[in-house]
Amino acid sequence: MQIDIPADQAMLTAARRSARTPWLPLLSALMELAGGKAELLRHAERSWASVTFSGTRHSVVMAFTGAEAVAAGEAFIEALPDHEFSVPRQLVADAAVVAVEHTALPEPRLEVTAELLLLEDR
């Protein structure tokens, strides 16, 4: 038996779920830090917890295509570890670039993989 959920109910459910997780404000902040020159290729989120803290770990892959975008990508790489994020009800405890891939042809392209740890700030 299959139960169909009306589209408006599905959108409401997705909105409630996104309100509980910080992925959308985080991705918006990352795109802003990238100067609007990046393309989001992938995002993965998983729960994270220690004895005293809980939160989420995010893996984000972004591409910077073209000479101007690659320059913005290099600035992104330099700025990310020390950037002061403003994500509601979250503290960005760690932000690191874990992989970088440069391609020269057919046009300059920089692919950046970043990992971020967000802790719930209650």
Q: Is the pLDDT of residue 10 over 70?
A: no
Q: Residue 61: which H helix or E strand, with range?
A: strand 54-65
pLDDT tens digits, 58-81: 999 999 999 999 999 999 999 999
pLDDT-derived band at 8, boundaries 50, 70, 90? low
Q: What is the arithmetic mean of pLDDT over 12-36?
A: 76
CATH code, residues 22-120 = 3.30.2000.30
Domain ranges of the chain: 22-120
pLDDT at 16: 45
Is residue 121 scored above 70 in pLDDT? yes
Q: What is the mean pLDDT of the chain?
A: 87
Element (H, E) at 33: helix 23-33
CA–CA separation, 103 and 86 (whole Å)? 32
